[in-house]
Amino acid sequence: MSDRIVAVMLLVLALLFGFQAWAYVPIGFTDHLGARVFPLAVALFMLPLTLVLFFGRHVAGAWPSARAWRVVFLALSVLVVYALVIEFVGFLIATMGVFIVYGMLYGARWWKTIIAGVVASLILYFLFVWALDMYLPLGALFEELL
């Protein structure tokens, strides 16, 4: 039964997402495809998946343990905090923090999470800034220094 509840929630989300994307009108210059193609593709991809989830036959499994739920909620909380602090502390530090906290949540050694956080945030930063020519915030803390 819980699969059907999730399927209905995802179906409503996909429809809302699709309608929002369809109604979006870009202002100014845009590429040939337009800014609404990707959100529409996501919504169109979600629709058949929700129908499969709703009508498919699934074996009822056990609900996750309390520890698993804590990890999921902490992981979601980290993403919310990430969205709230990225402008203030900057992309590099915020992304390092996410990698370190996620590594610790899933039981990795502390030194491996720090190395992964530093390496991944630097690679992502250079990929977005230099390869994709996108702006990423340096952080209000560091803008005066640079």
Phi then psi dihedrals of residue 77, to 5 deg: -65, -40
pLDDT of the chain along its 146 residues, tens only? 578 888 899 999 999 988 888 888 777 666 666 777 888 888 899 999 898 888 887 766 777 888 889 999 999 999 999 999 998 899 999 999 999 999 998 888 999 999 999 999 999 999 988 888 888 888 877 777 66
- C-alpha 123/C-alpha 129 separation (Å) is 10
Contacts of 58 (CB under 8 A, 6+ apart): 3
